[in-house]
Structure 1
Amino acid sequence: MALIQCPSCNKRISSKAASCPHCDYTLAGRSQDDLEREQERARQRKKETLLSQSLLALLASITAFAYSVWVQPHPDSWQAQVSYAVMGGGVLWFLINRVRLIMVKRGR
């Protein structure tokens, strides 16, 4: 008995399991081509999720930047501090998601 990765959720499961205990994907009776197609679908879903999160992070950064430009709060006010924090957090979140997307595309 060896441990393999579920083609749907990518978690480790027993090679003798009829279905994945994590996502209930049925392994029994599936050909190797079916398993490979499911792995590709799971990878594509992961890419789409990361792209959506990247766009959300970019939107948060742009919104915070637009607020700080249009409203021009005093640099010592809490509004300015929140705006700067959201800008920085959004950019950081965007960069982390882009690195994760590169890792998924490479197949890790």
Structure 2
Amino acid sequence: MAIIQCPSCNKRVSSRAEVCPYCDFQLAGRSPDELEQAQQRALQRRKEKLLGQSMLALLVAIGGFAYSFLEQPHPESWQAAVSYGAMALGLVWFIVNRVRILMVKRSR
């Protein structure tokens, strides 16, 4: 009995397991090519999910900037604090997601 990685969720499972206990991926009865294709699809889904999150983060940052630029709230008002917070949160979230995308690409 050996320990392998599930092609779908990348968690460690027994080579004798018919189904992954974490994600219910069918392991038994699949050829190595099918398992490789499933692993590639899972990796692609993960990259697409991270890319979507980074675009959402960028949208939050742009929204905060646009509100601050167009409305020009008083610097000590709560509207200014929210717009500055949205800009900072969006930019940090964007950078973190970009680093996560690089880590996923590097892990291949």
TM > 0.5 fold call: yes
Q: Which amino acid aligns with 1:91?
A: L
Equivalent residue number for residue 51 of structure 2: 51
Following TM superposition, where does structure 1 have runs of at least 4 consecutive aligned residues deviating by more than 6 angstroms?
Answer: none
Q: Which amino acid aligns with 2:82?
A: V
Identical residues among aligned pairs (%): 65
Cα distance, 1:73 vs. partner? 0.5
Cα distance, 1:106 vs. partner? 1.4
Tell me the distance in 1 between the aligned counterparts of 2:31 and 2:99.
Answer: 33
Tell me the distance in 2 between the aligned counterparts of 1:3 and 1:58.
Answer: 40
Equivalent residue number for residue 5 of structure 1: 5
Equivalent residue number for residue 32 of structure 1: 32
Matches within 5 A, 1:1-108: 1-107=1-107
Alignment gaps of 5+ in structure 1:
none
Cα distance, 1:107 vs. partner? 2.0
Cα distance, 1:2 vs. partner? 2.7
Tell me the distance in 1 between the aligned counterparts of 2:2 and 2:48.
Answer: 31
Query: TM-score by structure 2 length?
Result: 0.95
**CA displacement 1:45-65 (0-9 Å, x = unmatched):** 000000000000000000100
3-state SS of paired residue (1:83): helix
**CA displacement 1:15-73 (0-9 Å, x = unmatched):** 21111011111111111111111000000000000000000000000010000001001
3-state SS of paired residue (1:13): strand
Tell me the distance in 2 between the aligned counterparts of 1:2 and 1:91.
Answer: 43
Length, aligned pairs only: 108
Cα distance, 1:105 vs. partner? 1.0
Q: Which amino acid aligns with 1:87?
A: M
**CA displacement 1:57-95 (0-9 Å, x = unmatched):** 000000100000010011111111111111001000000
